Amino acid sequence: METYSMDLRERVVQAYDEKKGSQAQIAALFNVSLSWVKKLLRFRRTRGTIAPKPHGGGRVALFAGARLEALRQDLSERPDATLEELLERSEVDGSIMAVHRALGRLGCRRKKSRCTPQSKTARMSSNSARRGEKRPLR
């Protein structure tokens, strides 16, 4: 979910300060929820700012920037490489899932291909069954 822009935040607070309506009317005017308007005004009261909070963190991607481009180059040179081989060649201390997620960010799909030719299968029904004829009873 994206945060609302500073422009919208400023316009909502300005409309509230100019008493253009109740909080519910202002929320309807700007097509936002009433709870968001209340939260925005509470933030201004308690924190002194209406700016959104910074990102809370999260895990940093192991394959980003130059490493991601190196992975793309390695994949173009060896398109049949397994995830384990890509991880070993990248010399990154990570997991196979890190390689999988990086390939997803690159838009690469890893689809298994057959190593052996497909086996031949014979038809199991007789010609009369395919034509819809009844078999004689024995």
74-84 per-position pLDDT tens digit: 988 988 888 99
70 plus 99 within the same structural domain: yes
How far is it, in rounded angstroms, from Cα 93 to Cα 8?
Answer: 43
Predicted pLDDT of residue 59:
82
CB within 8 Å of 96: residues ≥ 6 apart: 83, 84, 87
Whether residue 43 sits in one domain with residue 10? yes
Query: Does residue 52 lie within any of the structural domains?
Result: no
The per-residue pLDDT for range 69-110, each reduced to its tens digit, is 999 999 889 888 889 999 999 888 889 999 999 999 888 876
Tell whether 1 is covered by a domain.
Answer: no
Name which residue leads in pLDDT, 2 or 54. Answer: 54
Q: What is the DSSP string of 63-120?
A: S-THHHHHHHHHHHH-TT--HHHHHHHHT-S--HHHHHHHHHHHT-------SSPPPP
In a domain, 36, yes or no: yes
Cα–Cα distance for residue pair 77/16, rounded to 1 Å:
60
**Residue 72 domain boundaries:** 66-106
